[in-house]
């Protein structure tokens, strides 16, 4: 083997080695790009966290920080303070699931369609509230009503004692309490219903705030589908990944990467 053949042999060996290394690097790059692309797509189309946040918000759970620095949702210590019943939460979430999903994210909506869908969403919730409000909204149970009535009797007793003190008349607190309880005895059922009605009205006042929160979160989801923006974003990222991930070609006619060995 003369010097020229030896140099040619060495050049070909180096070229094959380099091509093998390039092929391996390209394969690894393709795997990484595929993982990144899938991760991005899953992140963009992930709606479970949105739905979970809506669920906890309408349950009025609190988002607190734990000692280790992480956060978690915790239910209200007093469930009577919740605006919606469990049934009300379930029915509201059914509507949310219908409007917040991957299919809608990948849709192509114009401004008129988004406005129509949002109008349908809000009208549907309002109609549900008007027709089923007695099931949607929390009302105090028997123990809660009893506690509220006892507090009212106690407050009335304090007012009468204060009035007696102002005018300087003698009084007996126990006698005053017995008199108030006797008055309540004849209308206890009406008082219970009155307490329930008053508390339900308080919950109804919170409905507007809840609707505004739901409106904002669902609208944000539809805005991502405006003119197919979400779908286009994923497609653009895919095209870029394909271009970056294309294997590098070697010009064999020019001796490849090591054409200088023949010089």
> For 206-246, how does the pLDDT look when each residue is reduced to its tens digit (9 = 90+)?
888 888 888 988 888 888 878 666 555 545 444 444 444 45
Sole residue written with tokens 């929390």: 138
Residue numbers in the chain where pLDDT is lower than 50: 31, 33-43, 234, 236-245, 247-248, 250-263
Looking at residue 262, its pLDDT comes to 46
Please report, for residues 132, 191, 252, the alpha-carbon distance to residue 198 in angstroms, rounded to integers and kept in the order given: 17, 10, 87
Looking at residue 263, its pLDDT comes to 43
Quote the percentage of the chain above a pLDDT of 70.
68
Looking at residue 89, its pLDDT comes to 92
Looking at residue 93, its pLDDT comes to 92
Looking at residue 5, its pLDDT comes to 60
Looking at residue 123, its pLDDT comes to 92
Report the SS3 class of residue 249. coil
CA-CA distance, 177 to 172, in Å (whole number)? 9
CB 83 within 8 A of CB 60: yes
Looking at residue 76, its pLDDT comes to 85
Region of residue 168 (phi > 0: left; psi between -120 and 50: alpha; otherwise: beta): left
Looking at residue 196, its pLDDT comes to 86
Quick one: tokens of 153?
A: 């009797």
Looking at residue 250, its pLDDT comes to 46
Looking at residue 213, its pLDDT comes to 87
H-helix or E-strand spanning residue 6: helix 3-45
| Vertex 210 angle, CA 205 and 213, to 5° | 145
């Amino acid at each position: 083997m003369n010097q020229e053949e030896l140099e040619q042999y060495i050049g070909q060996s180096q070229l094959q080695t380099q091509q093998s290394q390039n092929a391996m690097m390209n394969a690894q790059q393709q795997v990484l790009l595929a993982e990144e692309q899938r991760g991005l797509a899953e992140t963009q189309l992930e709606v479970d966290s949105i739905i979970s946040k809506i669920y906890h918000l309408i349950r009025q759970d609190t988002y607190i920080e734990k000692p280790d620095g992480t956060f978690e949702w915790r239910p209200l210590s007093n469930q009577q303070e919740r605006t919606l019943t469990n049934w009300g939460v379930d029915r509201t979430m059914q509507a949310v699931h219908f409007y917040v999903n991957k299919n809608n994210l990948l849709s192509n909506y114009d401004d008129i369609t988004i406005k129509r869908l949002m109008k349908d969403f809000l009208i549907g919730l309002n109609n549900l509230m008007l027709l089923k409000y007695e099931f949607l909204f929390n009302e105090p149970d028997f123990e809660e009503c009893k506690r509220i009535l006892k507090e009212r009797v106690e407050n009335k007793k304090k007012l009468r004692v204060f009035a007696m003190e102002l005018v300087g008349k003698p009084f007996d607190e126990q006698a005053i309490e017995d008199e108030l309880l006797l008055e309540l005895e004849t209308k206890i059922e009406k008082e219970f219903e009155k307490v329930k009605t008053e508390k339900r009205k308080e919950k109804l006042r919170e409905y507007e705030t809840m609707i505004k929160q739901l409106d904002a979160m669902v609208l944000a989801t539809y805005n991502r589908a405006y003119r197919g923006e979400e779908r286009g974003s994923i497609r653009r990222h895919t095209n870029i990944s394909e271009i970056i991930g294309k294997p590098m070609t070697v010009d064999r006619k020019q001796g490849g990467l090591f054409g200088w060995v023949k010089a």
